[in-house]
């Protein structure tokens, strides 16, 4: 009988502890799956010098290009247009070469900034 109680205690502990352990560790990116976190890092690296890329970013050196929040609002129905723009940037954008994965990550970041539907 005590053996069953011990087994039950171990299972109960595992069920309680597993989510706590999992939440303490960042989830690694999955190859081939767009990552908003990676997209944000790319935007901070390549786009922040002209665009407001973060909601809490105070200013950008240039006021000409739209902020990422505005781009996110216009995203529905225009994803292909945005992806094409990122594949072949043109003036006044700087010449950068983004991979398909980079573009997918930036698009995932833009989607993460879009206002929640129904609000």
Residue 27 lies in a domain: no
pTM above the 0.95 mark?
Answer: no
- What is the domain-level CATH number for residue 67? 1.10.760
86-102 residue pLDDT tens = 888 777 777 788 899 99
Domain that holds residue 79: 36-113
Residue 79 lies in a domain: yes
Measured CA distances, 14 to 4, 20, 36, 45, 61 (Å): 15, 10, 31, 41, 51
17-65 residue pLDDT tens = 666 555 555 556 666 789 999 999 999 998 888 888 887 777 766 667 8
Token representation of residue 24: 């303490």
Residue 10 lies in a domain: no
| Domain total of the chain | 1
Residue 87 lies in a domain: yes
Residue 11 lies in a domain: no
């Amino acid at each position: 009988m005590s053996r069953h109680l011990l087994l039950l205690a171990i299972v109960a502990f595992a069920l309680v502890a597993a989510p706590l352990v999992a939440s303490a560790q960042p989830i690694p990116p999955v190859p081939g799956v767009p990552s908003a976190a990676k997209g944000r890092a790319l935007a901070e690296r390549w786009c922040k010098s002209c665009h407001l890329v973060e909601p809490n970013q105070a200013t950008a050196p240039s006021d000409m290009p739209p902020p990422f929040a505005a781009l996110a609002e216009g995203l529905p129905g225009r994803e292909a247009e945005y992806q094409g723009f990122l594949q072949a940037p043109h003036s006044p954008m700087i010449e950068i070469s983004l991979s398909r994965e980079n573009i997918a990550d930036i698009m995932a970041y833009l989607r993460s900034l879009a206002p929640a539907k129904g609000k």
